[in-house]
Chain A
Amino acid sequence: MRDSVLSRRALLLGSLAFPLTFSACRRSRTSEQQVVDLVIESDGDFLAFRPDELSCRTGTMIHVTFHHTGKFLSALHNWVLVLPNQMEAVDKDAEKTDGEISPDDPRVIAWVPMCGKGERVTTQFVAPAPGDYPFFCSTPGHAVDMNGIMHVTE
């Protein structure tokens, strides 16, 4: 008798858990669908990003590919996304390390490593809270011209 009660409980719990399992799968599939690929380039050898404005929704998984499209100059470029109003400060600090970004810097949301002409580098991150986030190249002296804005919306 006890065995039969247990098995009925197990059956009840199992039947309740079954749709929940499916619901979790769907949610994870939904989050997979929210991966957004963004491609950003240097403007050839010039100090500018193409495009210099990006948009995405908060919470989206962003996959960024940065392509250094230069042909003539050996200048290195990267792409660094920082918290609002932090571009100048992060850039100033990066000058001391020849443009390298510290992986522990809490002001930095995402970045790709320095790359040379013709190279592509990638990174991914979850889009932060809604707002306008500056991005720039942290090679010393580049940020003043080579920068842009990522608009994160609701």
Chain B
Amino acid sequence: MKREKKMLAVLALIVLMLTLAAPISAAQLKSPDTVKTALRLLVQVSNDFKRQITNKNFARVPHEYMEYTEAADALRTGIKDEPADFKARVESRLKAAVAAYQKISDMSAKATDPGPLMVEHAKAVTAMNAVFDLFPADMRPDPNLPPPGGRRGGRG
């Protein structure tokens, strides 16, 4: 009897952990469009970071960081009506991602070589992907996709 109770308790714990770890479904989100836009903006700005670093346009990097914080705020707006525990999980990971991009911004002030900034950028992308993991797969942006309507690569 005691053993059965123990097993039930373990099972209940596993179910609870799985429920908490599972991403919220798109249908459950109150503002899926805002969330989807915000997630795509995070990727867009992250790609801009990379572009400015590669072009050695270090003076623009703090500007990109400001935009990253704005994209993060857009995500906060998108989830403001979600359950508190979900918001807390997103906030925790989002804070880590924003901090990672801030580090790049701080480093850019004295940067002359893109190398170290690119290393930090890769870490920041990992932190950002941890945020995306909390959302349904069909809402996560593909970092390799061009923005809608854009003629990637420029012509003329």
Contact = CB atoms under 8 A, between A and B. Distances in A.
Interface of A: 43-52, 71-75, 82, 84-88, 91, 95, 132-134, 136, 140-141, 143-149
A141 B74 contact: no
A143 B44 CA distance: 13
Interface of B: 37-38, 40-41, 44-45, 48, 51-52, 55, 57, 60, 66-67, 70-71, 73-74, 146-156
B66 A74 contact: yes
Nearest to B74: A72
B156 A87 contact: yes
B71 A72 contact: yes
Contacts of B74: 45, 71-72
Describe B's contact surface by its main secondary structure.
helix
Given A87-B156, A149-B155, A149-B156, A47 B150 contact: yes
B37 A45 contact: yes
B152 A145 contact: yes
Given A72-B73, A74-B67, A95-B57, A141 B149 contact: no
A147 B146 CA distance: 12
A-B pairs with the 4 shortest C-beta distances?
Answer: A134-B156, A48-B150, A72-B74, A48-B149
A34 B120 CA distance: 55
Contacts of B71: 72-73
A144 B150 CA distance: 9
